């Protein structure tokens, strides 16, 4: 029986050692720490996980490590999308055979100017490789595809959810009118409260690696109708998010999550530039200030 996916769902970073090789030990420690903060699930091999900077074998090892560390305590979702659809299919099959993955996810095919029918074909090829339900990953600012260009995908009963990483709720509502039982997972951390207010059953984000507990608090405030307090918390959180964006999301989140849990998560892979000492100091100060005020 599939576990219900809801609440705060970190889009996991992928830890590397000093030689920028995959560090599954650090990943397992991070997963265990996040579960203790009452997250509702784990999303791996997504944008935050530097999926397109990983080989297929590294993605498989990442999935195996997350599943092992999660121990079935929370649902695990794996983003299998890739430029090469054959690798997406292979990773989807791996997820199905692993036994601990609850859903797969995929963003639409990128780079080439695929036609809507070709995008539909891409998703169908992936879904036909496994019985796992599909969470479509809508992230137009990175994929270059608007929701309308692959809307037909949602007619497939195997699609049960959408990771909606854009504030375009109008296009989302057009999909929901045709498929009202589609579960929405909102993917913009700085607007998490807005996503919940618009009916999202869960929120998936990068900064939940280092602020999961604060977003759990925000979600709880919203659920209890205390939206004035929830909005105040979102505004405080956004002060740190603004700095994280300025310094570079992936390295900043790795650094802050590593500091919080006492784990060396390493740096993001090139061509991302590592944080400077000055940036690390500013991030530490801003994070400490946020937790003091929250």
User: Which residues have a catalytic role annotated?
Assistant: 137, 163
The answer to whether the peptide bond before residue 232 is cis (omega within 30 degrees of 0) is no
What are the φ and ψ backbone dihedral angles of 101, each rounded to 5 degrees? Answer: -95, 130
Read off the tokens for 143: 């994929």
- DSSP label of 16: B
Under 8 Å between Cβ of 96 and 62: no
Under 8 Å between Cβ of 110 and 83: yes
Read off the tokens for 1: 């029986």
Say what angle helices 208-223 and 277-293 make with each other, to 10 degrees. 20
Match 């999308």 to its residue by tokens: 81
> H/E/C letters for each residue in 29-93?
HHHHHHHHCCCCCEEECCCCCCHHHCCHHHHHHHHHHHHHHHCCCCCEEEECCCCCHHHHHHHHH
- DSSP label of 156: S
Under 8 Å between Cβ of 211 and 191: no
Under 8 Å between Cβ of 189 and 166: no
DSSP, collapsed to helix, strand or coil, labels residue 188 as coil
Distance (Å, whole) CA 250 – CA 254: 6
């Amino acid at each position: 029986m599939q576990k219900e996916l809801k609440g705060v769902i970190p889009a996991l970073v992928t830890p590397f050692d000093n030689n920028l090789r995959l560090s599954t030990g650090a990943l397992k420690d991070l997963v265990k720490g996040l579960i203790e903060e009452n997250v509702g699930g784990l999303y791996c091999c997504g944008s935050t996980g530097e999926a397109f900077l990983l080989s297929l074998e590294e993605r498989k090892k990442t999935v195996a490590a997350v599943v092992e560390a999660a121990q079935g305590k929370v649902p695990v979702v794996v983003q299998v999308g890739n430029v090469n659809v054959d690798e997406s299919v292979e990773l989807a099959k791996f997820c199905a055979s692993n036994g601990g993955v609850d859903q797969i996810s995929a963003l639409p095919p990128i780079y080439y100017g695929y036609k809507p029918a070709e995008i539909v074909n891409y998703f169908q090829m992936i879904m036909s490789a496994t019985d796992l339900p599909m969470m479509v990953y809508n992230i137009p600012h990175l994929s270059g595809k608007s929701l309308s260009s692959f809307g037909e995908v949602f007619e497939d009963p195997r699609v049960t959810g959408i990771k909606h990483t854009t504030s375009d709720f109008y296009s989302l509502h057009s999909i929901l009118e045709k498929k009202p039982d589609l579960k929405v997972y909102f993917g913009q951390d700085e607007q998490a409260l807005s996503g919940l207010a618009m009916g999202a059953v869960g929120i998936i984000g990068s900064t939940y690696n280092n602020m999961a507990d604060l977003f759990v608090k925000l979600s709880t405030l919203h659920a209890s109708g205390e939206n004035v307090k929830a909005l105040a918390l979102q505004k405080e959180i956004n002060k740190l998010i603004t700095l994280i964006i300025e310094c570079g999301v992936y390295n900043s989140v790795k650094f802050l999550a590593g500091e919080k849990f006492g784990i060396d998560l390493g740096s993001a892979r090139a061509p991302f530039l590592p944080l400077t000492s000055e940036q690390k100091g500013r991030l530490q100060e801003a994070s400490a200030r946020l937790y003091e005020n929250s």
